[in-house]
């Protein structure tokens, strides 16, 4: 597939305060590059991520949304990411069911020590979303042009 050089996706990355946000900081401290398309929103725990936020991001023009949290079992609040995992699994499955490209949403567990993994994940996710192009489908679900 031809990658559109012009197109820069908008990516919202929700990061839990304790692991993934710190992992993102570590990526910075180690000067690991990843595209500026990624903008991080700090939340206390991955379980704070309301599906509303994801849909809202898509509504306002995000092309991809990624959630990063502590690895299962390492949650600062002991169980938060387990709930987040179920919620996101079901939500992503629903989006897929509606015909939205499933590559636009993703969950990745990144610990505070995994700066490299954070940067790698973001690089990969941005290129995946860039390949998909602009997110139109959620918007288009409603507008029947025929």
Partner 1 sequence: MQKIGVFVCWCGSNIAATVDVETVSDALAREPGVVFSTNYQYMCSQAGQDMIQEKIRELGLTGVVICSCSPRMHEATFRRACEKAGLNPYLVEIANIREQCSWIHKDKAVGTEKAIILGRAAIAKVQLNAPLTAGESPVTKRALVIGGGIAGIQTALDIAEAGFPVDIVEKKPTIGGKMTQIDKTFPTLDCAACILTPKMVDAAQNEKINIISYAQVEEVAGFVGNFSVKIRKRARFVDETKCTGCGLCTEKCPQKNVPNEFNQGLDNRRAIYIPFAQAVPKVATIDPNYCTMLKTGKCGVCSKVCTAGAIDYRQQDEIIQQEYGAIVAATGFEPISMEKFDEFAYSQSPDVVTSLEFERLMNAAGPTGGTLLRPSDGKHPHTLVFVQCVGSRCDGGEKGKPYCSKICCMYTAKHAMLTREKYPDTEVYVFYIDVRTPGKNFDEFYRRAVEEYGVHYVKGMVGKVAPENGKLKVQASDLLGGRQLHIDADMVVLAAAIEPDRSARPLATMLTASMDTNDFFTEAHPKLRPVESPTAGVFLSGACQGPKDIPETVAQAGAAAAKVIGLLSRDHLTCNPCVAESNELMCNGCSACEKVCPYGAITYIDKEFRGPNRTTLVRRVAQVNPAVCQGCGACTVACPSGAMDLKGFSNAQIMAEVDAICK
Partner 2 sequence: MQERVKAKAIELLESGCRVLGWKAGEFFYDVTPAVFTSREEIERDFVFNPFCGANQSKYLIAESRRGGRVAAFLKPCDTYSFQQLQKEHRILRENVYAVGVQCPGMCDMDALRAAGLRGVTGAEDRGEKLLVHTLRGDREVDRSLALSERCRVCKSKKLLDCDEMIGQQGEELVSTRFTEVERLEAMTPEERFAFWRGELSRCIRCNACRNVCPACSCEKCVFDNPASGAENKAPASSFEENLFHIIRAFHVAGRCTDCGECSRVCPQHIPLHLLNRKFIKDINQLYGPYQAGADLETRPPLVDFQQDDPEPSIVGERGTNP
- Cβ 28 to partner 2 shortest distance, Å: 26
The entry of partner 1, partner 2, none near residue 139 (CB within 5 to 8 angstroms by kind) is partner 2
Measure the CA–CA gap between 7 and 55, rounded to whole angstroms.
21
Answer yes or no whether residue 89 interacts with partner 1 by CB under 8 A. Answer: no
Stretch that binds partner 1, among 70-78, 99-107, 126-134, 138-146 (CB under 8 A): 70-78
Q: What angle do CA 8, 26, 84 make, to 5 degrees?
A: 75
- What is the C-alpha separation between 14 and 96, in angstroms, rounded? 20
Identify which of residues 25 and 134 has a Cβ nearer to partner 2 in the complex. 134
| HEC per residue, 46-66 | HHHCCHHHHHHHHHCCCCEEE
Are the beta carbons of 63 and 102 closer than 8 angstroms?
no
The residues, any chain, with a CB within 8 Å of residue 65's CB and separated by 6 or more, are 11, 12, 13, 14, 54, 57, 58, 104, 105, 106
Q: Which of 2, 5, 29, 145 binds partner 1 (CB under 8 A)?
A: 29
Q: In the complex with partner 2, which residue's Cβ is closer, 39 or 139?
A: 139
Contacting residue, 7, 71, 74, 83, with partner 1 by CB under 8 A: 83
Query: Where does this chain bind partner 2 (CB under 8 A)?
Result: 51-52, 55-56, 58-59, 72-73, 79, 82-83, 85-103, 105-107, 137-144
Give contact residues for partner 1 (rule: CB under 8 A): 10, 12, 17, 21-22, 24-29, 31-34, 36, 39-45, 47-53, 56-57, 60-62, 76-80, 83, 87, 119
């Amino acid at each position: 597939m031809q990658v559109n050089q012009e197109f820069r996706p908008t990516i919202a990355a929700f990061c839990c305060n304790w692991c993934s946000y710190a992992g993102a900081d570590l990526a910075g401290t180690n000067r690991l590059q990843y595209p500026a398309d990624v903008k991080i929103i700090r939340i206390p725990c991955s379980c704070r991520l309301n599906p509303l936020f994801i849909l809202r991001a898509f509504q306002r023009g995000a092309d991809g949304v990624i959630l990063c949290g502590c690895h299962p079992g390492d949650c600062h609040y002991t169980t938060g990411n387990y709930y987040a995992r179920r919620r996101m699994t079901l939500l992503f499955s629903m989006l897929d069911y509606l015909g939205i490209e499933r590559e636009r949403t993703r969950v990745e567990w990144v610990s505070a020590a995994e700066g490299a993994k954070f940067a790698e994940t973001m690089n990969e996710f941005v290129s995946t979303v860039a390949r998909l192009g602009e997110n139109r489908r959620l918007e288009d679900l409603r507008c029947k042009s025929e």
